[in-house]
């Protein structure tokens, strides 16, 4: 495994594992190599989008544990659109890579909206418990995508890098920095750009003020003329778009579709949301932490540590438990979260 030249200078740390394990050599470069940082970013992007999906929904008082199902169905929708539009008989202009990938992203967003509206109808219109409603959607998404998926198919195209690394031919720090900043797909840049945008919208606009007021005290917001139901429906639609895009990232900037490929990322996104106290900027750093924990799975294996891969694969989920245990009681959620609102 290659690491950045500047990281090799600090590779004086050595750790040995005795007993039945093979004695590996771990350097600091194992943990801060370009490959490790890029893997952390890849792992963080769907978590960022999923956590922002939760913020938009829960700031308006609606618990959305259906993010997991929306993410999974969004991944399938992006996968299916990508494959279906490349088949013979489809209009040639639809088979062009930019159009096909754009439609795949749109399909993921639309399926996210559809599932979000189902959640909204159940929890807002019919007052179904929001946890139960979200759980039903998660089970439905897992079963339906497993039924619809035909094995043996692969994603035809993935999102190309938006900007190529201009320092790729250099052999210095700039080349490593460029490899981290550039050579990323559209959805990766979109996720990081949405962090300050959503932060601005939540805390500097009328929509954000109304969203936060509905999440804290919908009765007072209603008295001041805010249409609580309309705002909650709107926010859930936005939440669905973000969750669907999180799913699209998994197939268009990652691997091909697999059954259950969201693999708990929606729940990790909710943990990151709590970790970040429902604030986009804090959520981004929390997502990078979880992305780094995910990246360590492959990095430790490349380093030659003969630890059973099941234990290494548990890292992100163990971190989730630690975060929930440490921050669940400290982070203050919106006061009216999870409660159905009744108009007078």
State the pLDDT confidence band at 35, using cuts at 50, 70 and 90: confident
Q: Is residue 44's pLDDT more than 50? A: yes
Look at residue 163 in the predicted model and tell me its pLDDT.
78
Look at residue 12 in the predicted model and tell me its pLDDT.
35
Q: Is residue 295 part of a domain?
A: no
Q: Is residue 253 part of a domain?
A: yes
Q: Is residue 30 part of a domain?
A: no
Look at residue 10 in the predicted model and tell me its pLDDT.
41
Q: Is residue 331's pLDDT more than 80? A: no
Q: Which class for 249: exposed (0-12), middle (13-18), buried (19 or more C-beta within 10 A)?
A: buried
Prediction pTM value: 0.88
Q: Is residue 39 part of a domain?
A: no
Task: Please count the structural domains in the chain.
Answer: 1
Q: Is residue 287 part of a domain?
A: no
Of 2-6, 126-130, 171-175, 214-218, least confident by mean pLDDT is 2-6
The per-residue pLDDT of the chain, averaged, comes to 85
Backbone φ and ψ of 319, nearest 5°:
-65, -35
Q: What is the pLDDT of residues 170-193, one digit of tens each?
A: 766 778 888 888 889 999 999 999
Domain range enclosing 138: 48-153+166-261
The angle, 0 to 180 degrees and rounded to 10, between the axes of the packed helices 280-302 and 34-58 is 150
Of 7-16, 124-133, 246-255, 330-339, least confident by mean pLDDT is 7-16
Q: Please state, in angstroms and rounded to a whole number, the distance separating the CA atoms of residues 266 and 74.
A: 12
| Residue from 30, 26, 119, 104 nearest 68 by CA | 119
Q: What is the pLDDT of residues 242-300, one digit of tens each?
A: 999 999 999 988 777 888 899 899 999 999 999 899 999 999 998 998 888 888 777 77
Q: Is residue 243 part of a domain?
A: yes
- The segment with the largest mean pLDDT, out of 207-211, 251-255, 312-316, is 207-211
State the pLDDT confidence band at 23, using cuts at 50, 70 and 90: very low
The answer to whether the CB of 154 falls within 8 A of the CB of 256 is: yes
> How many CB atoms within 10 Å of residue 327?
15
Q: Please state, in angstroms and rounded to a whole number, the distance separating the CA atoms of residues 94 and 97.
A: 8
Look at residue 18 in the predicted model and tell me its pLDDT.
45
Q: Is residue 101 part of a domain?
A: yes
* Mean pLDDT of the 140-156 span: 82
Which ranges in 182-227 belong to alpha helices (H)? 186-204, 206-216, 218-223
| Residue from 115, 139, 135, 117 nearest 126 by CA | 117
* Mean pLDDT of the 231-251 span: 97
Percent of the chain surpassing pLDDT 90: 54
Q: What is the pLDDT of residues 47-64, one digit of tens each?
A: 999 999 999 999 999 999
Q: Is residue 178 part of a domain?
A: yes
């Amino acid at each position: 495994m290659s690491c950045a030249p500047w990281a090799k200078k600090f590779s004086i740390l050595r750790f040995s594992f005795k007993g039945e394990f093979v004695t590996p050599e771990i350097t600091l470069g194992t943990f801060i190599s370009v490959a490790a940082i890029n893997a952390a970013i890849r792992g963080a992007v769907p978590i960022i989008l999923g956590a922002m999906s939760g913020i938009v929904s829960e700031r308006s008082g609606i618990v959305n544990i259906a993010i997991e199902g929306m993410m999974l169905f969004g991944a399938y929708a992006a996968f299916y659109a990508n494959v279906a539009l490349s088949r013979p008989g489809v209009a040639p202009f639809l088979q062009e890579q930019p159009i096909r990938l754009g439609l795949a992203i749109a399909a993921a967003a639309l399926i996210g909206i559809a599932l979000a509206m189902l959640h909204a109808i159940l929890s807002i219109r019919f007052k179904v418990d929001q946890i139960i409603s979200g759980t039903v959607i998660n089970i439905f998404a897992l079963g339906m995508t497993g039924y619809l998926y035909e094995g043996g198919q692969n994603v035809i195209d993935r999102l190309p890098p938006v900007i190529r690394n201009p320092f790729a031919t250099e052999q210095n720090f700039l080349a490593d920095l460029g490899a981290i900043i550039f050579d990323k797909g559209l959805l990766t840049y979109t996720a990081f750009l949405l962090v300050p945008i959503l932060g601005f919208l939540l805390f500097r606009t009328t929509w954000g003020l109304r969203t936060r007021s509905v999440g804290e005290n919908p009765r007072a917001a209603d008295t001041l003329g805010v249409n609580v139901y309309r705002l909650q429906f709107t926010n859930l639609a936005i939440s669905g778009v973000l969750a669907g895009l999180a799913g699209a990232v998994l197939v268009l900037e990652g691997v091909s579709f697999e059954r259950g490929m969201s693999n708990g990322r929606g729940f990790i996104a909710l943990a990151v949301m709590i970790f970040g106290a429902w604030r986009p900027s804090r959520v981004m750093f929390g997502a990078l932490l979880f992305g780094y924990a995910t990246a360590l799975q492959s990095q430790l294996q490349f380093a030659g540590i003969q630890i059973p891969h099941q234990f290494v694969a548990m890292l992100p989920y163990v971190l989730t438990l630690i975060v929930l245990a440490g921050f669940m009681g400290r982070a203050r959620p919106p006061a009216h979260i999870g409660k159905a609102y009744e108009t007078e």
